[in-house]
């Protein structure tokens, strides 16, 4: 029986998109229920599958988004056995590189994915030799090669030299990074057309979340599967072109016309125009920064809320922490809960210090942000993944999530050649739940937990090179992270600090503008809104990029929005000025 819903669950725009049996290109404004619509579409299509050999596939930008949607579908009572959901990189690994890598001589004898800590150390060493900064590193691949993310062309010669040695090191050691995963997968699809045909036969529907962050090579891989399906595989793609802020990483919002041509399919363009998140005043403000013309109307029950929208361009850099603290105290005094407050800045480098100083200024508040996570959060590190089980409670509320994590752990072990024939998710969780440790130091706790669990499962993890490399990287980078925090006068080494990482968000969020996409808060406080940061000083599309970033900042807020362009922040002998497009905005700000 097909999954159904009531008018209280989906509005007409959302319901029409879910019920559309063709190919859909859905432009969704902020707060329009995009994730809900995507969730119900997946649930609806899963309930209609006629064969146990078919899968619904959904691409999300982050693993966190995949987990959220997966859990929402399960809460609707839908069997997710025939759902695959995750990032494009995970898809390429699981569905292309691992089963078909034998057809590429560079992959045929095995490969591993570089650990984030290992990659950082490698690039730092290569940068020192070439006289460039590690912070300038970054690249993305297209069908014809790689492109540097650094907009400063004066640094390109040194960076190309860095990457020449970097790629050689990866090749010599049979290692891939995230971008090479995409490149090798694309080349396999090109050289072996039968792979696309096989995948198109398996997937009656492919869904893509946040299409505005998708890269050209990803669009091309997707179109390869869709074209091979000749209409058998449908596409449901959703996003907001006004939030396309990952241009330096190769992401862009493809138009529906171009996507039709690329895929060779008839595609219906639809919109979600009702914002159920923000007040009308907040919507009025961030709509000024539209780059792509979209219609947005306030649909929230709080649409008439008297929102405060403030802009401060006079506060000094040295007074910034006190000013942000004042705004936080004011919000708390008005009854706003801690987890409904968010502090934003353009760059991580500014946020870590801000977070730690706010912790000292507001000792009664909890914070979730850079500098507060006491161990390495490398999503591809096996031991980080296993730490999710180690640091969460064995409760009924967590059961489905922990079962899914356990299944992923077993797949990772099997992928490294470990014999897991006698290990099921239930067995893994039973052995994990049986571990009782009294250790209070977080890192020592995890080290003891990992050792005991592997012993209970009969696995000699040291015999497997990748598990050993990941173990060393996890503890090395975590030790460095804790040492850095300790220099700031803070101590997050106890096990309680470690366990907070995987609990539902409970404190004041601190994030970059890029990192906050998809989230929403009653109160948003953004600083560092300075020309050269928003937009980046070398961004060739500066005005459009600044508008998109300010659009993202403003659209995160439900009730109150506070914007700050602090004075006195310098780069060398040059002082930053307020972001030009913001300084020119004519708006009736609250004082």
**80-109: average pLDDT:** 94
| DSSP string of 66-124, one letter each residue | HHHHHHHHHHTT---TTEEEE-HHHHIIIIIIHHHGGGSTTTTT--EEPPHHHHHHHHH
**Contact call for residues 391 and 374 (beta carbons, < 8 A):** no
Strands 521-526 and 508-512: unpaired
Domain span(s) for CATH 3.40.50.300 in the chain: 12-97+184-272, 291-366+506-583
**C-alpha pair distances (Å), 508 with each of 219, 485, 505, 541, 560:** 36, 18, 8, 32, 15
> What's CA 59's distance to the chain center, in Å?
12
Phi and psi at 433, nearest 5°, equal -65, -20
- In angstroms, the CA 96 to CA 184 distance is 9
pLDDT-based confidence at 371, cuts 50/70/90? low
**Contact call for residues 247 and 545 (beta carbons, < 8 A):** yes
pLDDT-based confidence at 372, cuts 50/70/90? low
- In angstroms, the CA 502 to CA 388 distance is 7
Q: Whole-number mean pLDDT of the chain?
A: 92
pLDDT of 509 strictly over 90: yes
For 221-265, the pLDDT digits (tens) are 999 999 999 999 999 999 999 999 988 888 999 999 999 999 999
Structure tokens at 219: 């669009």
Which pLDDT score is estimated for 355?
87
- In angstroms, the CA 273 to CA 282 distance is 15
Domain 12-97+184-272 has CATH 3.60.40.10: no
Find the radius of gyration of the CA atoms of the chain.
24
Helices (H) and strands (E) in the chain, counts: 22, 20
* Fold assignment, 291-366+506-583: Rossmann fold (3.40.50)
Instruction: Give the count of alpha carbons within 13 A of 421, CB side only.
Output: 1
**108-126: average pLDDT:** 88
**76-88: average pLDDT:** 94
**Contact call for residues 103 and 188 (beta carbons, < 8 A):** yes
Buried b / exposed e along 120-150 (16+ C-beta atoms within 10 A): bebbeebbeebebeeebbebbbbeeebebbb
**In 3D, which of 434, 394, 427 has the Cα closest to residue 410?**
427
pLDDT of 537 strictly over 90: no
Which positions ≥6 away from 243 have C-beta within 8 Å?
30, 210, 212, 517, 548, 551, 552, 555
Which pLDDT score is estimated for 182?
97
pLDDT of 1 strictly over 70: no
Strands 23-28 and 267-272: parallel
Question: What does the angle CA 27 – CA 32 – CA 37 come to, to the nearest 5 degrees?
Answer: 75
Structure tokens at 322: 């006190």
């Amino acid at each position: 029986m097909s999954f159904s819903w009531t008018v209280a669950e989906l509005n007409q725009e959302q319901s029409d998109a879910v019920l559309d049996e063709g190919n859909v290109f859905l432009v969704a404004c902020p707060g329009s229920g995009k994730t809900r619509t995507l969730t119900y579409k997946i649930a609806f299509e899963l309930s209609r599958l006629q064969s146990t050999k078919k899968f619904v596939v959904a691409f999300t930008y982050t693993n966190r988004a995949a987990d959220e949607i997966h859990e929402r579908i399960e809460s609707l009572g839908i069997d997710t056995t025939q759902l695959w959901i995750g990032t494009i990189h995970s898809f390429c690994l699981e569905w292309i590189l691992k089963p078909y890598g034998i057809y590429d001589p560079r992959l045929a004898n095995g490969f591993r994915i570089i650990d984030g800590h290992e990659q950082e150390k490698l690039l730092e060493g290569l940068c020192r030799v070439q006289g460039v900064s590690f912070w300038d590193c970054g690249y993305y691949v297209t069908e014809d090669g790689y492109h540097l993310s650094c907009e400063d062309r004066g640094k390109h010669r040194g960076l190309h030299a860095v990457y020449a040695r970097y790629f050689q090191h990866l090749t010599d050691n049979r290692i891939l990074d995230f971008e090479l995963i995409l490149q090798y997968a694309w080349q396999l699809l090109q050289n072996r057309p039968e792979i696309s045909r096989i995948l198109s036969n398996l997937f009656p529907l492919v869904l893509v979340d946040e299409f505005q962050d998708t890269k050209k090579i990803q669009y091309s891989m997707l179109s390869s599967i869709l074209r091979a399906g000749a209409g058998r595989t449908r596409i449901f793609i959703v996003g907001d072109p006004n939030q396309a802020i990952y241009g330096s990483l190769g992401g862009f919002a493809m138009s529906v016309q171009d996507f039709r041509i690329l895929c060779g399919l008839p595609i219906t363009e639809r919109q979600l125009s009702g914002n159920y998140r923000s007040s009308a005043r907040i919507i009025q403000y961030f709509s000024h920064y539209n780059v792509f013309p979209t219609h947005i109307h306030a649909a929230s029950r709080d649409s008439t809320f008297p929102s405060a929208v403030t802009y401060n361009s006079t506060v000094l850099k040295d007074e910034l922490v006190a000013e942000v603290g004042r705004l936080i105290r004011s919000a708390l005094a008005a009854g706003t809960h801690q987890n409904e407050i968010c502090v934003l800045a353009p760059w991580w480098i500014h946020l870590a210090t801000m977070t730690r100083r706010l912790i000292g200024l507001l000792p009664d508040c909890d914070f979730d942000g850079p500098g507060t996570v006491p161990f390495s959060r490398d999503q591809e590190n096996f031991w980080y993944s296993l730490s999710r089980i180690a640091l969460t409670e064995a409760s009924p509320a967590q059961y489905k999530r922990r079962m899914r994590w356990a299944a992923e752990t077993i797949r990772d072990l099997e992928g490294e050649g470990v014999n897991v024939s006698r290990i099921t998710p239930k067995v893994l969780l039973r052995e994990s739940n049986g571990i009782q440790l009294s250790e209070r130091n977080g890192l020592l706790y995890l080290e003891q937990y990992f050792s005991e669990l592997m012993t209970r499962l009969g696995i000699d993890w040291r015999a497997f090179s990748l598990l050993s490399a990941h173990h060393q990287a996890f503890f090395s980078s975590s030790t460095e992270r804790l040492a850095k925090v300790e220099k700031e006068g803070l101590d997050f080494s106890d096990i309680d600090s470690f366990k907070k990482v995987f609990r539902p968000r409970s404190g004041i969020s601190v994030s970059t503008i890029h990192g906050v996409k998809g989230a929403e808060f009653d109160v948003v406080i953004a600083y560092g809104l300075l020309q050269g940061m928003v937009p980046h000083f070398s961004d060739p599309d500066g005005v459009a990029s600044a508008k998109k970033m300010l659009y993202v900042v403003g659209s995160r807020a439900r009730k109150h929005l506070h914007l700050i362009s602090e004075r006195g922040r310098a780069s060398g002998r040059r002082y930053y000025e307020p972001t030009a497009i913001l300084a020119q905005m004519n708006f009736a700000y609250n004082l």
